[in-house]
Structure 1
Amino acid sequence: MRFLASALLGAAIAAQAAVASPIRARSPYVMKEEHYAPREYTKLDRANGESAVHLQIGLKQGNMKELIRHLHEVSDPDHERYGQHLSGDEVDDLVRPKKETSELVEEWLRENGVEDIGYNSAKDWITIHLPIEFAERLLDTEYHNYKHEDGHIIARTTHWSLPRHLHAHIDTIQPTTSFFRGAANAATWVEMAPEVPASYKKPSNGSIAAVCNVTSVTPECFATLYQTKGYHTKASNKNSIGFTNYLGEIPIRPDTELFLKKYRPEAVSSAKTFKQYSIDGGPEQDGPLTLNQSLEDISHEANLDVQAISGISWKTPIFSYSTGGQPPFIPDPATPTNTNEPYLTWVNWLLQQRNIPPIISTSYGEPEQSIPPSYMERVCNQFAMVGARGTTLFFSSGDRGLGGTNTCYTNDGTNTYKFIPDFPASCPYVTTVGATMNFQPEESAYRPSRNVSGVFRDLYASGSGFSDYFDRPAWQDNVVSEYVDNLGDLYDGLYNKDGRAYPDLAAQGLYFAYFWNGTEGTISGTSASTPLTAGIFALVNDALLASGKKQLGFLNPWLYKKGYKGLTDITKGYSHGCNVEGFPVTEGWDPITGFGTPDFPKLVKLAGAHGY
């Protein structure tokens, strides 16, 4: 992202000059937002005031309603504007804040000694670098260290304030109350001896049975099962696919090369040619894992993503985005701690680019209740802006079913038992992917809790839910309301019947063959089904572009109107999680497998491509 901010040191010096003076404001400070720390976090001591914080200030956007109108028109297959996606400049013009908003916020910052103010191209986000102790004064709050149960430590607060006259001009400021971590949706790392699911039956289709091994599922199996086998890309010069990496993840080229040599030898060159982008200090790497990296056990997720995509979508160019932010907290005054919110940093960087891939896959997410609604809405709006430009954003639905085991309690101070939906899976402007297992028939992915060599592994179940914050979009009304009506009073009060429901579709997500640190193993999760699905739809876009047509773009209106006919309905399984069997998988749409799994030839035909 091309922010105008200068180096961190310069901002820190300017800010410290203002620390000695009281915060100045036109109007009294009033609390803007309060949000509880999630149950998984333990409050520790005060944050190191000399550490730096990278504040992102979301200004009130100019005409977001108009942008959403454009998004729906260009994404509706029955609308005359279908496929006429907006340019980056057109999107920026729609969301740019009013002059008054920018002037008032900038006045407040400058009057308090903040001179290095960075804007994105739409000028709806301001970025500043400050010592935590000055951010506390600016926002009338206190930052503390919070430790996640996995050992991860971040500096956050549970409330912050603004001068009263700025409340209508600023939607959100983070990192403050958001405990967003961007955890990978991978249920299992390397497993050398996977268990055959109890429900597995050998496929009756000889072609599928010959290439599909339920304990190590390979690209040849996917290509046979979803019928991409034999398709040759025709528009790779016009097409591309991207995937995101967070928390220090980086795809390892030598591992990808080993994978492709074994399972897709004609595509092996893509291990060397996929492009890497470093965002906000995200890692880049061409060689193998170092000893320290292997000891830290990183890059399972990144390796899975690039291998799943390259194994199905050759010759489509691949882009890897590695975004810095939220490393473990190091309480050393000489070492500034980066506590960025990774999704926002990534999507704002992406929106500055004037050419972005038609499809991007993300295999990360976490409970909605760990994120303040104001921040969630703004991040979701940024995803809508990407969709208006013609890009499909695939996100994984999660691996804890309805919310895990013994963890389904609200984060509002009442500690009420309730199903826990995930974000960004619940954002209406992304296409959310669930996971299946077995082959004929496929069923929703599920593996019960178990003890492996003395280590407890929580259940793995395809993520399922109804948002507590986002209303059900119009394109979901018919199928979701029918499903909810058929449930009757089952689980009444435990989920929001009127919320955006997910997932939208599904694909294989159990025991993917992959390589890590030079060794082959298997890995499971919607982290696997999501890049696989993205790769299949990249081939659909290839067929469209080769036919002289536009890419699919924001997928959901098309998917719910006609695209669902190109998916194989899954009718077996349950959502599981929250100590119950959960929602049932049914005929038609359900909140575990969506409309089902891809049937590539049907999808190509429904999309309107020629010659396949």
Structure 2
Amino acid sequence: MKLSVIAIAGLLSLASCAPTGNYAVHEKRNGDNRMWTPHDIELDRRAMLPISISLTQQNLDKGYEFLMDVSDSKSPNYGKHWTPEQIKETFAPSAEAVGAVKEWLTSYGIIDERLSVSKSGSWIRFNSTIGEAEVLMQTKYRVYEHADTKKTHIACDEYSVPAEIKSHIDFITPTIEFGAVVRELKKTRALPRRDVTKGSTNGTTKLVGLAVEGPRLALPPPPPKNGPVAQASSPTYCDQYITPDCLRALYGFPVGSLSKSSYGIVEFTPNAYLQSDMNLFYASLATNVPVGYTPTLNSIDGGVNQVTYQGFAYNGEADLDLQYAIALVYPQKVTLYQVGDMVEGASFNNFLDAIDGTYCTYSGGDDVIDPVYPDPAAGGYKGAKNCGTFTPTSVISISYAYNEADLPVAYMNRQCNEYMKLGLQGVTIVTSSGDNGVAGNSNQCCTYQGCSGGWLNAAGASGAFNPSFPGTCPYITSVGATQIVPGSKVTAAEEACTTVIYSGGGFSNNFALPGYQTSAVKTYFKSHKPKYSTTLYNASGKTRAIPDISANGANYLCAVDGVGQLIYGTSASAPTVGAIVTLINEQRIGAGKSAVGFINPVLYANPKALNDIKKGTNPGCGTKGFSAVSGWDPLTGLGTPNYPALLKLFMALP
């Protein structure tokens, strides 16, 4: 059978064959993907594909050094963050790279008039027939079908480029990756796992929100004016339910008082908050915030705070993130980055495009993992793609994650380098480490150690450990989860979270161990090395380890769809840590200092500024997982925030 041009337009992915002449393989999939099988369809070689070439940026090999120069407390340049102009000038691809790649394209009849080059010079995009692209990249495209969803994509096993320009090309899309984003929330106690987007999207790479539903209960009534706060907000009850007052008592930080800093929360449509829930929460548990207060909305690629679809699967994540972020930092400004329309949804790259114009292609050139805007689908966002539209806030919290095994290496590296650039500009990024212990999203484990390309076992089955991304990027602060020991006072030592969820943690299979973490990880392996086979996890001691820090992630009392709801997860921990960093920024900026920016080097150099967690495990993949120990460990990191100690530490820095 033949596939029509119109049908092919909906299949975004590629394929490859062996190189010939002076061509060299550029990217190759790591083995067959058991979820995707070749389909017996003859492609129409006249069908069009949007080809995007990511050019190798300059000085990325110096990125870590640059970031340490402004983030290491021992550096004379600590806090002297870069401007966007400095970022562009330092990392833009060389003129030689742009010229060499354009010359290659021209030699195959792809003339300048067909090319779209991003303002930063980082991307070259053009439309090509399948037949033309096959010749250009010495490749052969095939249609693949997903075993479960029956969705089809054009995909490849490898692709090639001329050897002499290989060093100028980061990667080309669409190529070896399968599928686009499917936005789902984790399986909860009361809800079956399901797609949360109406008319679900066309893929299986899962960007997952990490909030987990717990029991419902009544919220306390608003306290009388000048009267005592209701019992539920009292630290006496914090082992049963966490409130903003519990967190303040737990980590020693005050109610916000200034409005000089900024805090951003990222949500992916159709996840959305309800203003009625916000008002109920303010009235009951966050009386420092006036009823009716709303976050500042930055709508990215048609992002809308939708109210059509309601329920925990749609409102739980956003209600949690925003209720606690606002309660903890008010009157500081909280910005909601709402990403993606109701048809396509969105991914991290759509968000990053919107806050850094040098990152995006201006022409929809992200991987096919990322939805492309403008969206031609019925009801989709038809406006211009957001490229550098918004200024990033000083702190950004993200409660969503992929499995590291879901994504191509080049895709992760490209995105990780963007987090490095944000750190250079003084932005702190905190992310959730995961809710399934050493297992990944959906409680899935790897078929083999270091698996990639979607080689994951069924949910709940044993296998090799499966770390999450983007937390494994060394330029992000990954946040694990703790809990108050049931029956204990708020002043007692916490333990790793074991109520409903287990703190995500482990060792990357892609990113090298950063220098700031070397001593802590070396000590861990020397004194507490797990007795697991190397077939279960990356035991080399030479890769990025997560989490960096942790915070309470159990029994958060929220208002969801008009009722009290307990919520669990590192989705709660990350916004809490982000809020504490924002409060520190508030004091530094008030004293005429810079925002703290990338905090990991300072934290690892000063572990006593955190509360060490020494009890608990993070089971998964048929094992007990890792154990909490003295010092850094792969389930609670360096420990939980000690606000007075952290404030003293950061205020002493220039």
SS at match of 1:79: coil
- The residue number in structure 2 matching 1:228 is 253
Deviations 1:479-533, CA, capped at 9 Å, x for gaps: 1111111234611413222111110100111122223333331221111110111
- The answer as to 2:285 corresponding to 1:289 is no
1:124 paired with 2:122, answer yes
Residue 529 of structure 1 aligns to a residue whose secondary structure is: helix
Higher relative contact order (Cα pairs below 8 Å, separated by 6+ residues): 1
CA shift digits 1:142-173 (9 cap, x unpaired): 36466586x69584624342432442221123
2:272 is the alignment partner of 1:250:
yes
The sequence identity of aligned pairs, in percent, is 29
Say if 2:71 and 2:602, in contact at 8 Å, map to a contact too: yes
Q: Would the aligned equivalents of 1:227 and 1:599 in 2 still touch at CA under 8 Å?
A: yes
**Structure 1 segments unaligned to the other structure (5+ residues):** 1-11, 17-24, 195-205, 329-337, 449-459
Per-residue CA distance 1:518-552 (angstroms, 9 max, x = gap):
33312211111101110111001101111111111
Moved more, 466-475 or 253-262: 253-262
Equivalent residue of 2:466, what SS? Answer: coil
CA contact (8 A) 1:243 1:361 kept: yes
User: Equivalent residue for 2:497?
Assistant: 445
Out of 329, 337, 350, which is 1:321 matched to? 337
How far apart in 1 are the matches of 2:637 and 2:530? Answer: 21
* Gapped regions of structure 2 (runs ≥ 5): 1-5, 11-18, 182-204, 219-230, 358-387, 458-462, 485-489
Distance 1:548 1:133, change over 3 A: farther
Deviation at 1:357, TM superposition (A): 1.2
The whole-number CA distance in structure 2 between the counterparts of 1:37 and 1:322 is: 36
582-591 vs 49-58, which moves further = 49-58
| Between 97-106 and 176-185, the greater mean CA deviation after superposition | 176-185
Give me the whole-angstrom Cα distance separating, in 2, the residues matched to 1:295 and 1:344: 27
CA distance in 2, matches of 1:534, 1:33: 37
**C-alpha distance in 2 between matches for 1:28 and 1:282:** 44
C-alpha RMSD of matched pairs (Å) = 3.7
In structure 2, the CA distance between the partners of 1:441 and 1:83, relative to structure 1 (3 Å rule), is same
- Candidates 325, 342, 351, aligned match of 2:356: 351
Mapped partners of 1:319, 1:53: distance in 2: 36
Check 1:605–1:520 CA distance in 2 against 1; reply closer, same or farther (3 A cut).
same
Calculate the TM-score normalised by the size of structure 1: 0.79
Q: Which moved more, 1:473-482 or 1:163-172?
A: 163-172
SS in 1 for 2:284: helix
Q: Measured at CA, do residues 191 and 109 of structure 1 come closer, stay the same or move farther in structure 2, by a change above 3 Å?
A: farther
**Structure 1 residue identity aligned to 2:639:** G
> Secondary structure in 1 aligned to 2:77?
coil
**1:218 partnered with 2:270:** no
Secondary structure, aligned partner of 2:208? coil
C-alpha displacement at 1:345, in angstroms?
2.7
1:154-303 map, 5 Å: 155=153, 157-164=155-162, 165-178=164-177, 181=205, 183-186=207-210, 188-189=212-213, 191-192=215-216, 210-229=235-254, 231-234=255-258, 236=259, 238-246=260-268, 248-268=270-290, 271-272=293-294, 274-279=295-300, 281-285=301-305, 289-290=307-308, 293-294=309-310, 297-303=313-319
Query: Residue 597 and residue 144 in structure 1: after superposition, are their counterparts in 2 closer, same or farther (change >3 A)?
Result: farther
1:375 aligns with 2:414: no
CA change 1:55–1:211 in 2 (3 A) is: farther
Name the CA shift for 1:435/1:55 in 2 (closer, same or farther; >3 Å): farther
Shift of 1:381: 0.7
SS of alignment partner, residue 567 of structure 2: strand
One-letter identity of the residue aligned with 1:32: H
Moved more, 476-485 or 439-448: 439-448
Question: Matched residue pairs, number?
Answer: 545
Q: How does 1:513-524 map to 2 (within 5 A)?
A: 513-524=557-568
Deviation at 1:339, TM superposition (A): 9.1
TM-score (norm 2): 0.74
Alignment correspondent of 1:396? 432
> Which residue is 1:7 aligned to?
none
| Partner deviation per Cα, 1:262-320 (whole Å, 9 max, x = no partner) | 21133136742x222222x24223xx721xx2279424222221112112111111112
| Residue of structure 2 equivalent to 1:555 | 599
Pairwise mapping of residues 39-78 of structure 1 onto structure 2 (< 5 A)?
Answer: 41-43=35-37, 56-78=52-74
CA contact 2:256–2:329 (8 Å) conserved in 1: no
Residue 477 of structure 2 corresponds to 431
Aligned counterpart, 2:198: none
Residue 307 of structure 1 corresponds to which residue in structure 2?
323
Displacement of 1:216 in angstroms is: 3.0
Distance 1:156 1:112 in 2: 22
Residues 126-147 of structure 1: CA deviation (Å, up to 9, x unaligned) = 4567788987776535364665
> Which deviates more from structure 2 when the two are superposed, residues 299-308 or residues 538-547?
299-308
Instruction: Pick closer, same or farther for the CA change 1:39–1:243 going to 2, 3 Å.
Output: farther
Specify the alignment match of 1:453 in structure 2.
none
